[in-house]
């Protein structure tokens, strides 16, 4: 019987998840979380949901206006995935690291749930050893593991995370499912949990402790856990710190296109070709490992700052992702003008932005899903 089950797990076509084999790592997951996960599995290889960071909170030239969204003002629909970050919650701060009030974030997360959309949360946690921010790369991981000098202090931070996550519920007491993506871009060198600042074993131990503490000690059962790297050179780099299929539900990748400010047409063309090539190469590895372990996959952060290429959405991004069974693609936030850097900082189109017309074409692609479509699917039932 067991051998039949194992064979059945690989009978489906390349990269498509067999629902018989796909299981959440939390056996006590809430019914809504199980329903969401099962829908994501069934949609894998068929549809890709579009997401945007902080979409309901602010956009270019506006902030905290109920009902607004830069995406909605372009296509008359909201994203299917809403990204948030809880950096700062570990201190009990009122606002996150991007100045979004946590009480407003909670309101927006509940609103997104009622729209039939998905919420995903990352955590730019400060350095627990020095008190510096996420980019303070003083070694800390070893010190916050069980037995470390700062372990109890780190647990107190996890308790604040747990309290916030458990506060995300409807008026009827439904705990809102969250795609939780802690310690992200783990192979980079810019965060204190990054590759240069802890061993693979230490990172895996940090991941394992965090997941097991939230799930088994704090009894949070509405999370889908997302393992995440930045762009990488090869498969060993992607899997080096992978905690294993027993400790992750989804595998994901962050990768951005970059070009010089005021780049020439030729520079933009070369930048797009390089980005598309690397994205395809990286996604192939991500989805292959995900398929092998019967996991979901995603492009959890991407974008091109200020979107200087008019047809970037269909010619570059969609062309790169359309043949991969990723659950969603999320672009980063629309901060607007940054005075300190004297430049515009946004990754999604807004009304009148040069790529808005092409984004409307992306919206019409049959593989892409936005909020109206996910509402009809009823992801939580």
301 is catalytic: yes
Look at 21 and 100; give whichever has higher pLDDT.
100
Look at 338 and 283; give whichever has higher pLDDT.
283
Does residue 31 form part of some domain? yes
Question: Would the pLDDT of 8 be above 70?
Answer: no
Does residue 2 form part of some domain? no
- The predicted structure's pLDDT at residue 24: 98
- The predicted structure's pLDDT at residue 343: 87
111 is catalytic: no
- The predicted structure's pLDDT at residue 110: 98
Q: For the chain, what is the mean pLDDT?
A: 95
- The predicted structure's pLDDT at residue 182: 98
- The predicted structure's pLDDT at residue 19: 75
Out of 32, 90, 202, 301, which one is annotated catalytic?
A: 301
Instruction: Say if strands 336-338 and 343-345 run parallel, antiparallel, or are unpaired.
Output: antiparallel
Does residue 12 form part of some domain? no
Question: Would the pLDDT of 15 be above 70?
Answer: no
Does residue 1 form part of some domain? no
Q: Considering its fold, how many domains does the chain have in total?
A: 1
Q: Which domain holds residue 55?
A: 23-377
Q: 55 and 24 in contact (C-beta within 8 Å)?
A: no
CATH of the domain at 271: 3.20.20.80
Does residue 182 form part of some domain? yes
- The predicted structure's pLDDT at residue 18: 78
Does residue 147 form part of some domain? yes
Average pLDDT over residues 230-240: 98
- The predicted structure's pLDDT at residue 338: 86
Out of 185, 201, 202, 281, which one is annotated catalytic?
A: 185
- The pLDDT tens digits of the residues spanning 105-125 come to 999 999 999 999 999 999 999
Question: Would the pLDDT of 196 be above 70?
Answer: yes
Does residue 367 form part of some domain? yes
Average pLDDT over residues 265-290: 97
- The predicted structure's pLDDT at residue 9: 53
Share of the chain above pLDDT 90, in %: 92
- The predicted structure's pLDDT at residue 37: 98
- Token representation of residue 79: 């994203």
Question: Would the pLDDT of 235 be above 90?
Answer: yes
Does residue 286 form part of some domain? yes
């Amino acid at each position: 019987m067991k051998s039949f089950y194992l064979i059945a797990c690989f009978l489906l076509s390349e990269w498509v998840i067999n629902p018989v084999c796909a299981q959440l790592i939390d056996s006590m997951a809430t019914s809504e979380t199980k329903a969401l996960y099962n829908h994501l599995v069934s949609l894998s290889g068929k549809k890709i949901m579009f997401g945007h960071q902080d979409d309901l909170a602010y956009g270019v030239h506006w902030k905290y206006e109920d009902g607004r969204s830069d995406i909605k003002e372009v296509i008359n629909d909201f994203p299917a995935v809403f990204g948030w970050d809880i950096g700062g919650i570990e201190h009990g701060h009122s606002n996150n690291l991007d100045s979004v009030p946590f009480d407003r974030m909670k309101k927006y997360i509940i609103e997104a749930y009622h729209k039939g959309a998905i919420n995903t949360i990352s955590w730019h946690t400060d350095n627990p050893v020095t008190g510096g921010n996420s980019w303070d790369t003083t070694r800390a991981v070893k010190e916050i593991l069980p037995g470390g000098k700062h372990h109890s202090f780190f647990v107190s931070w996890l308790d604040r995370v747990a309290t916030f996550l458990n506060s995300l519920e409807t008026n009827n007491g439904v705990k809102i499912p969250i795609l939780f993506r802690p310690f992200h871009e783990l192979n980079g060198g810019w965060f204190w949990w990054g590759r240069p600042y802890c061993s693979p074993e230490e990172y895996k131990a940090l991941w394992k402790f965090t997941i097991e503490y939230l799930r088994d000690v704090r009894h949070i059962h509405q999370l889908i856990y997302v393992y995440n790297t930045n762009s990488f050179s090869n498969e060993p780099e992607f899997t080096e710190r992978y905690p294993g299929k027993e400790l992750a539900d989804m595998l994901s990748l962050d990768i951005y296109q970059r070009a010089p400010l005021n780049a020439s047409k030729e520079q933009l063309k070369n930048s797009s070709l390089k980005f598309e090539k690397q994205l395809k190469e990286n996604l192939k590895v991500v989805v292959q490992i995900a398929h092998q372990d019967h996991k979901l996959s995603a492009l959890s952060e991407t974008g091109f700052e200020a979107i200087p290429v008019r047809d970037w959405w269909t010619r570059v991004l969609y062309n790169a992702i359309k043949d991969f069974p990723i659950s969603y693609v999320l672009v980063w936030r629309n901060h607007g003008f940054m005075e300190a850097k004297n430049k515009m900082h946004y990754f999604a189109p807004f009304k009148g932005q040069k790529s808005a017309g092409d984004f409307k074409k992306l919206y019409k692609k049959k593989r892409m899903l936005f909020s109206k479509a996910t509402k009809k699917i009823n992801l939580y039932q």
